[in-house]
Chain A
Amino acid sequence: MTANKKLEVKDLRVTFKTDHGLVQAVRDVSFDLYEGETLCIVGESGSGKSVTSKTIMQILANNAIVESGSIIYEGENLLEVSEEEFHKIRGHKIGMIFQDPLSSLNPIVRIGKQITEATLINSNKLKKMYEELISKELIAYKNAIAHANININKAKSKYELLLIESKEKLVNASEEEKAKIKNELLIAKNERDEKIATIKERLKKVLPSLKSALDKRKVEAKKEVREYKAKIKNDYATEVSSLSEKYKKDIEECTKSFEHSNKDASELKKALDEIANNHKKELHQAKKAYIDKTRVTKAEAKRRAIEIMREVGIPMPEKRFRQYPFEFSGGMRQRIVIAIALTAAPDILICDEPTTALDVTIQAQILELINKLKRERNLSCIFITHDLGVVANMADRVAVMYAGKIVEYGTAEEIFYEPKHPYTWALLSSIPDVDSKERLEAIPGTPPDMIYPPVGDAFADRSRYAMKIDYEYQPPFFKVSDTHYAATWLLHPDAPKVEMPRIVAERIKNARKGGQNNE
């Protein structure tokens, strides 16, 4: 694909601190998102697909630790960006649609208010202008702090991880070993404190200059905004005065022209009325133009909201605008959620199982809508789901996730017609399709406990094709084609040749036949 990269996720590792231990939700996930494409992430619940998307949006729960990795968007690492700067990205650049439309809408606020909320919060254009003027300095200042904080947290969490590990070790350790471990811990603690101290010192050095720059800029920006405001106010005042002069002139001319003719007084009144009306209209327009320069009005926001509601296929948006979420059906609610995500015109849309709570016909409608919007607005989509039928419909490329890792990725055709990983086979064979009659091949067992992730291939325990090496070493990505990679030892040149399950092979054969017939 020659299109440019929109988003680049590299070696992402996310861990959750819980009472039972550390849950390694995402382990070394990397993928790219290209412009205008849909990337589907497939996997069962608990495979880390939602966590990945939440990390991109930076809306993880408090107990989450991003251990390593980077998410690069427009040349910036989103993991090292301060919350202030993220306000400009979240929603505006990267939008998100959640799974359950009922719980993502506020039940006691009218739909219209919920859609226009984002627009109205940023409605003051002068304030926005001021913020934009100081944004460079402010972001530099805040980023410095955020960067330091992130580094401090990293150091802290590194020590904590070590602490938890050594606690486990301590249980079965002899006295000597205990002393050794404690010593190690002490060293680590000192190291941590030192590191934190250096970070803080460095920050102290940098901060004053940044702060002074920011303060200076603030004063300048305030002045600039004030000047701008005065200017537009002045412009408005001059326009109003010129309009009123023109009005006086018009009236004079009109009365003069009537004095010399022998027309009725009523006609004169009519002509004067017309002039007055025109004047009123012009005044109104001038005022509107002035207000448009200063803020987004409620009427304007409503107009935009109704436009977008029409775009996502809600009939009678003027009436629907004043209704509550409970007055909508499931499909309509999901449309509202999509409309809210689209108001700020993002260029990346993350859809976290948007159709799981809907039934077949509504699901098809919503998928069609998302596809249409994607085409019209040239959106790049990350689509998270566990329904392979939906994946086949939406995806340009597919990433299959299992136990916090991507096990296979490639284009949709490659994944569906030439799957290589046993887990992809299992997923494909476990769902009956319209033609299947024989017994289904269920995946035995349950996903692994991510507090103690397996050493080797995570899927080995549930796989028929597991080899000895699967239990010892994690398989690297083997290249199948330029766009298709799979992490399984079965692709190693020394591995025995294994055929995919009969059901999958047959289904692929049928699908290919059907595809040719269609063409």
Chain B
Amino acid sequence: MSNNKDLDYKLLSELESNNSANEQGNIFDDDHEDVSHASFEELVQNYKINPKVKKRDELLNSDIILSVRNLKQFFFFGSGLHRTKLKAVSNISFDVHEGECFGIVGESGCGKTTTGRSIIRLYDITSGAIYYKGYRISAGDRWNRKEIKYTRIRLNDKIKELREKKKNDILALDKNNPDYSSLVNEISKNCDSEINEARAAAYKIINEQVRKINQVRYDNNHVNKKLVNEIQMIFQDPIDSLDPRMTVEDIIQEGLMIQGYRDKTKNHKKVVEVLEKVGLVADHASRYPHEFSGGQRQRIGIARALIMNPKLLICDEPISALDVSIRAQIINLLNELKEELGLTIIFIAHDLSVVKYFCNRIAVMYFGKIVELASSEELFKNPLHPYTKSLLSAIPKPDPISEKSRTRIIYNPAEAHDYSVDKPELREVKPGHTVYCNNAEFEKYKAELKD
């Protein structure tokens, strides 16, 4: 217990040797499109692993600490006829490099908090996969289920078609032909063999998908907890996120207790250490949350995350609920901790100036999709997507002259884009600057960048 790091490595190696399934688990389920194969032949032919996927070795050796692939998070309401689907996050992918600060911005309801919560496994994700240090920590199976469903439908269509053909062929035969029965036999035999072939091809796919679903289930249930503990979260509201009936010490060491560290003296030592790290004193450990001010409570929230020795910290609007004069304190504290502990931070916020100040790279989200992803300087210098422009034009500045002459750009997706023919996707306009666009827009943005 004393040497956490050794333990981590031991467990990791164990995981690597025992869980060969996991190794296979990372080559599929990743980059996929929605099932839209027109015919059975197309389905069978197109069925192959997407070559765009990074191999696991590649992930292990690179500095990518977190890789989110085609993450989808749907929520379902009601039942029967009233069952509705809410696409909170639909198909987003991004990589977070070690030591960087990755910002996610967007208006409320765009799915940025859901993304954070999905990464830390507060939700079971619907589809896609999340890799932490090259290990898949979470995956969804909706796509596989859809693949099975549509394969079945296509197969049935195919079989129907073949049977129809057989029937027509038999009808077309001359009944007076002496070889009539043998011809019929031949046709039906051919047809049967064709059906069997199709079935075999389809079941190959189905079995493969069933295997993958089982794999996803197994992986989700057998994630290395040590690994997942390295991801911690700071919540928005420092008042609601702390249990009013627990002392600060209980709150902070709760994670340790859950993970089986029950030595109270050692835990207390750790609590005091971590309290000092976030700028509180040891005396505070025995108090209750209501005795603290907003800024101090947020410090407690940070301490609770830090005690698990995190490598990746997800900050879900950590300063939105705080007072003006306290915000700077918390931002400075997070900055110091980042440098001192070598943390990687995913910073979720809607205050663009804070995100700009704090983050290396920023992803702009709009209705469950990432619409633009670039380094923070690049994003503020050359915003390309109309929504980003609209967002940037809405930042209030503490400067009356520019503020009073400000014109806000209004974003109306129905007017700004025409996606009826050409479907959009995330494309790299410039190295390190990706925008959600279709072909025509891609060219337009490129021209815009050149000016």
Chain A positions near chain B (C-beta within 8 angstroms)? 44-45, 329-330, 358-365, 367-368, 386-393, 395, 412-413, 416, 426-434, 436-437, 439-444, 446-447, 507, 511-512, 514-515, 518
Q: Which of A360, A412, A439, A507 meets B395, CB within 8 Å? A: A360
Give the docked Cα–Cα distance between A75 and B362 (Å).
55
Q: Which of A329, A386, A446 meets B324, CB within 8 Å? A: A386
Closest to B294 in A: A45
Q: Which of B109, B356, B397, B405 meets A389, CB within 8 Å? A: B397
Mask: chain B, 409-443; 1 = CB below 8 Å from A; 0 = not: 00100000000000000000000000000000000
Closest to B393 in A: A364
Closest to B380 in A: A434
Q: Which of B107, B332, B335 meets A362, CB within 8 Å? A: B107
Q: Which of A329, A393, A440, A507 meets B328, CB within 8 Å? A: A440
* Given A388-B398, A412-B400, A368 and B408 contact (CB-CB distance below 8 Å): yes
A393 and B325 form a contact (CB under 8 A): no
Residues of A contacting B398 in the complex (Cβ-Cβ under 8 angstroms): 388-389, 391-392, 416, 428, 431, 433, 507
B403 and A392 form a contact (CB under 8 A): yes
Centre residue among A359, A387, A436, A514 by max chain B CB count within 10 A: A359
B335 and A361 form a contact (CB under 8 A): no
Mask: chain B, 389-401; 1 = CB below 8 Å from A; 0 = not: 0110111111111
B332 and A440 form a contact (CB under 8 A): yes
Centre residue among B326, B358, B390 by max chain A CB count within 10 A: B326
Q: Which of B390, B391, B401 meets A518, CB within 8 Å? A: B401
Residue B327 at the chain A interface, CB threshold 8 Å: yes
- Could you write out 21 A-B pairs with CB less than 8 Å apart? A44-B326, A359-B350, A360-B351, A360-B352, A362-B107, A362-B108, A364-B396, A389-B395, A392-B397, A393-B396, A416-B398, A416-B400, A426-B325, A431-B328, A434-B380, A436-B353, A443-B328, A446-B293, A511-B399, A518-B402, A518-B405
From residue B28, how far is it (CB to closest CB) to chain A in Å?
A: 38
Residue B259 at the chain A interface, CB threshold 8 Å: no
Residues of B contacting A446 in the complex (Cβ-Cβ under 8 angstroms): 293, 295-296, 326
Chain B positions near chain A (C-beta within 8 angstroms)? 107-109, 293-296, 323-329, 331-332, 335, 350-354, 356-358, 380, 390-391, 393-406, 408, 411
Q: What DSSP secondary structure best describes chain A's contact surface?
A: helix
From residue A391, how far is it (CB to closest CB) to chain B in Å?
A: 7
Closest to B377 in A: A437
Give the docked Cα–Cα distance between A427 and B296 (Å).
19
Centre residue among B331, B353, B391, B399 by max chain A CB count within 10 A: B399
A515 and B399 form a contact (CB under 8 A): yes
* Given A361-B390, A392-B403, A430 and B397 contact (CB-CB distance below 8 Å): no
B108 and A432 form a contact (CB under 8 A): no
Closest to A440 in B: B328
Residues of A contacting B353 in the complex (Cβ-Cβ under 8 angstroms): 431-434, 436
Residues of B contacting A359 in the complex (Cβ-Cβ under 8 angstroms): 107-108, 350
A390 and B396 form a contact (CB under 8 A): yes
Q: Which of A330, A386, A431, A515 meets B401, CB within 8 Å? A: A515
From residue B2, how far is it (CB to closest CB) to chain A in Å?
A: 35
Residues of A contacting B400 in the complex (Cβ-Cβ under 8 angstroms): 392-393, 395, 412-413, 416
From residue A40, how far is it (CB to closest CB) to chain B in Å?
A: 11
Give the docked Cα–Cα distance between A512 and B399 (Å).
9
Residues of A contacting B109 in the complex (Cβ-Cβ under 8 angstroms): 329
Residues of B contacting A440 in the complex (Cβ-Cβ under 8 angstroms): 328, 331-332, 357
A416 and B399 form a contact (CB under 8 A): yes
B402 and A515 form a contact (CB under 8 A): yes
Residues of B contacting A360 in the complex (Cβ-Cβ under 8 angstroms): 107, 350-352, 391, 394-396
